Each structure stands twice: as structure tokens, then as C-alpha cells.
Amino acid sequence: MGDKMKGEFFALLAALCWGLCPIIEKKALELTDSSTAIFIKSLMDFIIISLIFASTGKIMTMKIDYRVLIYLTLVSLIAGITGQYFFYKGLSMSSPSKVVVISSIYPFVTIMLSTLILGKMPSVKVWIGAILIFIGVSLVVE
């Protein structure tokens, strides 16, 4: 299997994981509020990844460029905390199927911002995909 195919396979596995999680998160949000859920999820993420890094010895050889720390701190603030909070609030108030489809508009946001910030002009196929995302979301929103 080539690298491209492996990359697509891992993307599919990620989609399966991310497709399952909103169902579990909805059940958790029936028992707690969004802020507490984010705290517990983040704490468990930290504990689990720390155990993995400690058990492999990678934590001792890790070198972190300060720019990586800045970029990933921004990602944590934007997606890990703020985006996750909004996602959990949506899940607590609506069905997982609707919330997931509506939040799936993020590829369009990425396309627009990568064009504006990174100067990466998407192909026609990518734009068609973005339009199809909007059509899909419009079918779900009432």
C-alpha cells in the first residue's frame, strides 16, 4: 500500500472514530454540562497521551520548537476548547446527526482561510466539494 493510500486509510479510520464519538458525547452531555465535559475529555486526553509517551520513552527525547508550541496552543484554544464547547452545546440541545452535519462545514472554512492566509488556490474539484458540503448542510437545517 502506497503512502497516499495509507494516508487515506488513516483518514477513514479517523472518520470512523469521529463518527462514533458524538453518540458517546451526547450520552455524557445528558449527565453533565459542556464545560465539565470539555474538562474531563481534556484531562483524559492528557493522561492517556502522557502514559503512551512515558511508556515509549518518547517523552525523554522530545524536542519542541517554540513555534510549534505557539501554533498548537492556538489550535488548543480555538478547536480544543472553544470549538469543542460550541460543539458540546449544540449536542446538548440537538441531535448528534444534525450537529455533526452542520459542524461539517469546517472544510469550507479551511478552504477559504487557506486561500486567504496561505495563498493556496484550491482546484475546481475542491470548490465543487465545498459547494456540495453547503448543499448537504442546507438539507439538514430546518
The three-point CA angle 88-92-94 to 5° equals 110
pLDDT digits (tens, 9 = 90+) for 101-124: 899 889 888 988 999 999 989 999
For the segment 84-101, the average pLDDT, to the nearest whole number, is 94
Can you tell me the distance from the alpha carbon of 85 to that of 32, in angstroms, rounded to the nearest whole number? 13
- Given CA atoms 87, 90, 95, 98 in this order, what sign does their dihedral have? negative
Do 69 and 60 form a contact (C-beta atoms < 8 A)? Answer: no
In this predicted model, what pLDDT tens digit does every residue of 10-65 receive, in sequence order?
A: 989 998 999 999 999 999 999 999 999 999 999 999 999 999 989 998 877 888 89
The amino acid occupying position 66 is Y
What does the pLDDT average to over 87-95? 95
